[in-house]
A and B are shown apart, each in its own frame.
Chain A
Amino acid sequence: MAKVSLTVNGKALTAEVEDRTLLVQLLRDVFGLTGTHVGCDTSQCGACVIHLDGRAVKSCTLLAAQADGAAVTTIEGLAVGDELHPVQAAFREHHGLQCGFCTPGMIMSAVDMINRLGGPLDEETIRHELEGNICRCTGYHNIVKAIEAASAQMAGLSQAAE
């Protein structure tokens, strides 16, 4: 058994789990954070993307024990109180989700993409950067629009802040 201590969405959490426990299993089954989803078993669909120390990773392809000591942000921790993150708001505004299942991973990947690359991002960049996230509902059209808009808005915000 492995003792795992994490900061999850700003809260210090500890659990004792089997060594083979994946981070996504710890988040969902032990911590009850079911917003992070599992859509495949080959690390491709991206429904499980979370941020580990600020970087997007697939929580189905990481042992909980490997993440010991890290800061994890899940979809549940993205909004500040009632205030949605700009990417969350853009997904709603641009109808970037339908069934909602891939959405948490999409949003976490989109936030990571904008954090890494800055904004505004163009369509080609966004489509390439979404290589690790599969959506079956939207045909990606409105996801791309949402990320375009959010990246532009966040670039504006970051300029305003400087």
Chain B
Amino acid sequence: MYETTYHRPSTLAEAASLFSGASEARFLAGGQTLLPTMKQRLAAPTDLIDLSRLAELKGIEVTADAVTIGAGTTHATVATSAEVARAIPALAKLAGLVGDPAVRHLGTLGGSLANNDPAADYPAAVLGLGATVHTTKRSIAAEEYFQGLFTTALEEGEIITRVSFPIPARADYQKFRHPASRYALTAVFAAQMKDGSIRVAVTGAGSDGVFRAEAIEAALAANPTPSALDGVSIDPAGMLADIHGSAAYRANLVTVMAKRAVGGWAG
């Protein structure tokens, strides 16, 4: 790791001011991706601004229509939240499938979304539920937020503060793990919203990051059961391909995992 200067602001305002005063600052949330990247010397921020203790970023709030989670909330907290489990069980399930138990104790929702790894779990829920990403500057709809591999709508110095997830009628998350990294090789978040609309988001598979599987959504809109996906195939163009799976394999997994997620709606 290159030398860096560590800061621990006590308010968001202080964090923003530290950021603007530094030459190449990065915000440090749980650090579970940023620190390994820095250890490999693939990132060299001059300043690290630790957001992990900011009370403004904590907390889970559930209303009739939405679950709002502070960006600094750890995966473990979301996974074990009784409120989240009651409102959107698929979201609690997803949080419990991120990384491993030790990673979940530090990693946060905001950190995951700011990084936007194409194989991360949370982007699937954000896009799959049409969540809203609230920041220090504005509110961003999921569709606008994700802009490709490791790329988001966030501007310099902008901090995610919380994310509001609309409560669906039913939803499930099905993850097929990468055999080595345990990230998603392909994972699908499928939801039927309260207005009956279908949203299906895929992570791990797309060469441009998380995406909505429109063919699957269309098939499920007509018939929201697993068998509706029997004839649906996903175009391998646009899928990631690497030593762990071809584009065709990932395309297949999209359908298979989507089918299982819809199967999970019953439970």
Contact = CB atoms under 8 A, between A and B. Distances in A.
Contacts of A129: 101
Interface stretch (A39-47, A78-86, A96-104, A142-150): A39-47
A58 interface: yes
Interface in A62-108: 62-63, 65-66, 68
Nearest to A59: B102
B93 interface: no
Chain A interface helix/strand/loop/mixed: mixed
B98 to A, nearest CB: 11
Given A20-B3, A20-B4, A61-B36, A132 B102 contact: yes
A132 B35 CA distance: 17
Interface string B1-25: 1111110100000000000000000
A56 interface: yes
A46 B31 contact: no
A116 B1 CA distance: 33
A49 B104 CA distance: 13
A29 interface: no
A131 B50 contact: no
Chain B interface helix/strand/loop/mixed: loop
A22 B32 CA distance: 13
A116 B141 CA distance: 35
Interface in B17-54: 28, 31-32, 35-36, 38-40, 48, 50, 52
A122 interface: no
A19 B3 CA distance: 7
A61 B35 contact: yes
B161 to A, nearest CB: 20
B213 interface: no
B94 to A, nearest CB: 15
Looking at B8, B36, B52, the one whose CB has the most chain A CB atoms below 10 A away is B36
A36 interface: no
A18 interface: yes
Contacts of A19: 3-6, 48
B103 interface: yes
A61 B32 contact: yes
A62 B101 contact: no
Given A19-B5, A19-B6, A131-B182, A66 B102 contact: no
A121 interface: no
Nearest to B39: A41
Nearest to B107: A61
A2 interface: yes
A155 interface: no
A49 B99 CA distance: 14
A66 B50 contact: yes
Interface in B49-96: 50, 52, 76, 80
Contacts of B80: 116
B36 A18 contact: no
A57 interface: yes
Interface of B: 1-6, 8, 28, 31-32, 35-36, 38-40, 48, 50, 52, 76, 80, 99-103, 105-106, 181-182
Interface of A: 2, 18-20, 22, 41-44, 46, 49, 52, 55-58, 60-63, 65-66, 68, 109, 112-113, 116, 129, 131-133
| Pairs of residues from A and B, 5 with the lowest C-beta to C-beta distance, nearest first | A132-B100, A19-B6, A131-B100, A55-B105, A65-B6
Given A56-B101, A62-B31, A63-B31, 18 more contacts: A19-B6, A20-B2, A20-B3, A20-B38, A41-B39, A42-B36, A43-B36, A61-B32, A61-B35, A61-B36, A62-B106, A63-B35, A66-B6, A66-B8, A109-B101, A112-B101, A116-B80, A132-B101
6 contacts: A19-B6, A41-B40, A43-B32, A57-B106, A65-B8, A132-B102
